[in-house]
Amino acid sequence: MRVIAIMNQKGGVGKTTTTMNLAHALARQGNQALAIDLDPQAHLTAGLGALERQQRGIAEAMLGEADLADVTLAVRDNLYLVPAGDRLGELEHLNGGGATRGYLLSEALKSVGPEMDYVLIDCPPSSGILGMNALFAVSEVMIPVAGDFFSLQGMARLMGLFGHIEKTLKKNFEKWVVLTRFHARHRLAREVREKIIDYFPEHVYQTPIRESVALAESPGFGKTIFEYQAKGNGAEDYRALADDVVKQRVLNG
């Protein structure tokens, strides 16, 4: 089982879009995939059409008030979701528990069965307690990076955070970069791609996710790109990205 945190401290880079569509792409290949909405904004839950009022979710599992299985929803064939729920924001202000506050998600994930192939965690755009819980629970991190200068800055800050956590925990994360909102004809986008490949050789997935109106529209209908526009660029790109993840296909520069 691979447990992957999908995170970037910069918003608007396609983090939730990637979590949702990559999870469904993996499930469509026959893998058992679990998506966890660790963002109090609950965009992943809404994008998968599973948002409800007075909803229990990952917070209850992290606090030990419910088993993870009790708050897990079957949302598509082979695809399962732990929604954000109504109380997730409370955890950002949790004061008790000391250092154990960082391991709440790790403890909750111990109940995930061996039949699950992939667990994808949609993280909030912050380095607060929820982000720390994600990092303490995983060995792999996927970083969506849009093809602009500010995305590079956000990525640099994130790498600093990773370095601090790796030193503290005495463990190394496997880091993967996926280029999102990509315009191949834009010189800046190509330059950003080349810089990232220079910085992280053999850690940038081969498939860039092209900018797509359908990718922006589909969550509003509670649909993944495969349900909203199965023959468009977005579906093609996320199918290919799923292959990249499974086969660990990367750009070599």
The CATH number of the domain where 188 resides is what?
3.40.50.300
Global model pTM greater than 0.85: yes
Note the pLDDT of residue 95: 65
Residue 17: pLDDT over 90: yes
- The side-by-side arrangement of strands in the sheet containing 250-251 is 73-76, 79-82, 33-37, 118-122, 2-6, 140-146, 174-180, 204-205, 250-251
Residue 11 lies in a domain: yes
Residue-range definition of the domain harbouring residue 173: 2-248
Q: Which range, 126-140, 172-186, 206-220, has the best average confidence (pLDDT)? A: 206-220
Q: Average of pLDDT values for 148-176?
A: 79
Residue 76 lies in a domain: yes
Distances from the Cα of 40 to the Cαs of 36, 62, 74, 158, 230, in angstroms? 11, 14, 20, 20, 29
Residue 61 lies in a domain: yes
Residue 253 lies in a domain: no
Pairing of strands 118-122, 174-180: unpaired
Total structural domains within the chain: 1
